[in-house]
């Protein structure tokens, strides 16, 4: 699942606020074409556009590779805006100027939108079919608008995400599951082996670090899968949701990969994971039933010696 593209569908009043942001921006730069974009996994989507210019080929909903966009010039770590007032004379753009000229883009202002977690959300940008002057006070006003927009984004994300790990929460899992009826998939129910000992011996601060590291590793796993996401239920329990079909052998390979990934620690403490797996077809039962079945399989994996996975189908037999 593309995030934050899918996530945005759940934000209350997003369209209204996005339009307000662009309305404020139009007061500052009335002659510019303005847009809000979201960025995820090297792709950029144009969420909202104001002051359309017919000779600039950009429309709402348009999605393109980030490396084909001027927004690729933004350093999202420093959060500094990019200002190009005269693109035809911007020698640093090299041969890229020709393509921009053909698209009638002759000036650009890009302001990064970065969450407090350091995660990139997207950009607020101004482009024009003419060379433009972007006064410093106007750039600063747009940055203030972005900060206000960020407050809203943060509040929405708290409703759908776990504060410690940044993974999605059970509420988001339920919403996604209900919104994707009629498709096969699988649920992996993970519980960390040895996590209690980490908390007891090294303290809860170290335990939190372990949970955050586990979350990062699970995020890397789901990024390699179609229609997948990682969820923290609470404590040291996690869910991996896969909204696509696969063979039994495919799920086994993936489970073995996850067990391996979560058992490798270059630290004094050691944790691993046990996984309960339930698969379903397009005529799937309720999420709560699937979670209960995955939990039964997880208990069987724990009972078998931990650091292992077990399928619910095998448990039933």
Q: Which residues are catalytic?
A: 236
For 165, residues 6+ apart whose C-beta sits below 8 A from its C-beta are 211, 212, 214, 215, 232
Give the C-alpha distances (Å, rounded to integers) separating 316 from 281, 300, 306, 310, 313.
17, 11, 19, 11, 5
Is 283 buried (19+), middle (13-18) or exposed (0-12) by CB count in 10 A?
A: exposed
Q: Is 229 helix (H, G, I), strand (E, B) or coil?
A: strand
Burial of residue 57, with CB atoms counted within 10 A of its CB: 0-12 exposed, 13-18 middle, 19 or more buried: exposed
CA 220, CA 227: separation in Å to the nearest integer?
Answer: 13
Query: Which pairs count as long-range contacts for 7-13, CB under 8 Å and 24+ apart, including other chains?
Result: 7/157, 7/160, 7/172, 8/38, 8/47, 10/156, 10/160, 10/172, 10/175, 11/153, 11/156, 12/156
Count CB neighbours of 276 within 10 A.
26
For residue 4, whether the previous peptide bond is cis, meaning omega lies within 30 degrees of 0, is: yes
């Amino acid at each position: 699942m593309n995030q934050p593209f899918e996530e945005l569908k759940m934000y209350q009043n997003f369209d209204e606020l996005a339009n307000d942001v662009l309305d404020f921006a139009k007061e500052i730069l009335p002659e510019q074409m303005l847009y809000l974009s979201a960025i995820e996994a090297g792709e950029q989507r144009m969420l909202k556009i104001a002051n359309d210019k017919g000779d600039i080929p950009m429309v709402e909903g348009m999605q393109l590779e980030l490396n084909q966009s001027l927004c690729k010039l933004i350093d999202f770590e420093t959060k500094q805006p990019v200002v190009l007032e005269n693109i035809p004379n911007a020698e640093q753009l090299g041969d890229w100027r020709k393509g921009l000229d053909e698209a009638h883009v002759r000036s650009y202002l890009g302001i990064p939108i970065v969450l407090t977690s350091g995660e990139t959300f997207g950009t607020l940008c101004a482009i024009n079919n003419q060379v433009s002057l972007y006064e410093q006070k106007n750039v600063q006003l747009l940055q203030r608008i972005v900060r206000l927009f960020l407050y809203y984004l943060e509040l929405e994300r708290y409703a759908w995400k776990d504060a410690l790990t940044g993974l999605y929460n059970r509420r988001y899992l339920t919403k996604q599951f209900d919104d994707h009826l009629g498709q096969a998939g699988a649920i992996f129910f993970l519980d960390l082996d040895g996590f209690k000992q980490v908390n007891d011996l090294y303290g809860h601060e170290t335990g939190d670090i372990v949970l955050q590291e586990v979350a990062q590793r699970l995020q890397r796993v789901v990024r390699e899968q179609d229609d997948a996401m990682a969820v923290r239920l609470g404590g040291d329990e996690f869910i991996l949701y896969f909204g696509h079909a696969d063979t039994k052998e495919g799920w086994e390979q993936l489970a073995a990969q996850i067990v391996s990934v979560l058992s490798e620690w270059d630290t004094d403490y050691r944790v691993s994971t046990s996984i309960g797996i339930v698969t379903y077809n397009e005529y799937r039962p309720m999420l709560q039933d699937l979670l209960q079945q995955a939990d039964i399989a997880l208990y069987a994996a724990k009972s078998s010696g931990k650091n292992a996975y077990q399928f619910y189908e095998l448990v039933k037999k």
